[in-house]
Structure 1
Amino acid sequence: MRKKRNIPPKHVTYIFVEGETEAAYFNELKQKYNAGSTQIIKKLNGSGDYVDQAEKQVTASNNVPDNKVLIFDTNGKTSPQIKKLLTKAQSKGYDFGYSNTCFELWLLAHFEQVSQSLINEKNLIIKLNNYVTTGKYKKADPNQIARIVETAEGAINNSKSISSINISTLNLGFQFTTVGEIVEKHFTNK
């Protein structure tokens, strides 16, 4: 007769993302850090309430995750909309990472120190072009994302100065990203 081993159950984390680039990034991060219990659940629809969308997917999974994470951009949203979303996410037990204006700010932090000076998405992509081996950044490109993820720890350090955001004083006139806090908590510090 075989002995049963007391193996503790894995903690399951669901990460909900807004776009294909975010999904590619977190799937690559999952591989790099061997985070098998982390599940990247479907990309969220670009409109509507992300928390409600995520909660529907949690319910449909018939699973209760230990952690729920929401990753999104502020582009196209107003400050009151973001505040409402963040408050609701907190009340439902979500960790969240968000970038003003887009996820490419977080990707740029993998290569250089980023500041609060607001840079639009087009110019962030121009800056990223300087770092990708093909000379032209392409959203969700798996080869580029794999190379970018290699320097995730550096990105955490390069974005620390713009990662502490108070929901009540949220100001979309400045550039910020809290994605590094999520990466640190759920991947690099495991």
Structure 2
Amino acid sequence: MIVVEGQTEKLYFERLKESLRLASISFDFITKSSTPDKMVDSVRKKAGRRKDIDEVWYVFDSEVNQKENVRGHCSAAQKIGCEIGLSNPCFEFWLLLHISDYGKTNLNPEDLEKDLIAESEKHFKIGYSKKESKIQKFYNILFEDKDIAESFLKAAADRLDKHLGSEAGWEFVLENNPSTNVHVLAKTLLNEYKAKSRLT
């Protein structure tokens, strides 16, 4: 089960699930919670409704100048057995890695979004924006079919491995801008897809 806070992440994982035909993966959406306790309560309730869940991932962005709050969310989620998919400063860094090597540092979400717009126009001839219709167009290109999806995911994960080295924990992500460990979840989904493909 993947629990996300943002619409961008929700649409990404829904489209990826569809492309890789991962029927066993479920998604849920929570509104941003002001305290770690509220967030953990939301995740626990959503996960508790399903008895067939092997793993729960909580995917969200670090907020600029909110390190202690993010640290509290991550610690609280881990206490109830959640895996953490954290992006610093935002999920758009992970999206950018699907199409580009990226070497800038100490960015705010607005800078990353501008760079993603420029790169998506360069590669796909469409601009990226947070409007659902534009996000869907971007994701439709990334995940047009399972082979293209696998190729983009592998490229992003490889770029991130090069960027992070062996670091993949949320603590590292929180202290390093830009970074993310969403690639760990992506690799898990790819491995599930490959295992399923071998059986069919």
Q: TM-score, normalised by structure 1?
A: 0.81
1:128-184 deviation digits (Å, cap 9, x = unpaired): 122243542122421212223431111111112237255556654632100111110
1:4-57 deviation digits (Å, cap 9, x = unpaired): xxxxxxxxxx1101111101100111112211000111x211223332211111
Partner in structure 1 of residue 17 of structure 2:
30
Partner in structure 2 of residue 121 of structure 1:
109
* Cα RMSD after superposing both structures: 2.2
Preserved contact between residue 116 and residue 162 of structure 1 (Cα < 8 Å): no
Higher strand share: 1
The answer to whether residue 183 in structure 2 is matched with residue 184 in structure 1 is: no
Seen in structure 2, the aligned counterparts of structure 1 residues 95 and 123 have a Cα distance that, compared at 3 Å, is: same
Separation in 1, partners of 2:170, 2:117? 32
Give the letter aligned to residue 148 of structure 1: L
The answer to whether residue 101 in structure 2 is matched with residue 100 in structure 1 is: no
Structure 2 residues without counterparts, runs of 5 or longer: 144-148, 193-200
Preserved contact between residue 74 and residue 99 of structure 1 (Cα < 8 Å): yes
Structure 1 residues without counterparts, runs of 5 or longer: 1-13
Separation in 2, partners of 1:170, 1:27? 24
Preserved contact between residue 74 and residue 101 of structure 1 (Cα < 8 Å): yes
Seen in structure 2, the aligned counterparts of structure 1 residues 168 and 31 have a Cα distance that, compared at 3 Å, is: closer
Identity of aligned residues (%): 23
Seen in structure 2, the aligned counterparts of structure 1 residues 40 and 153 have a Cα distance that, compared at 3 Å, is: same
Structure 1 position 188, deviation (Å): 0.8
The answer to whether residue 158 in structure 2 is matched with residue 138 in structure 1 is: no
Q: TM-score, normalised by structure 2?
A: 0.77
Separation in 2, partners of 1:90, 1:17? 15
**Structure exhibiting the larger radius of gyration computed from Cα positions:** 1
- Secondary structure of 2:83's counterpart equals strand
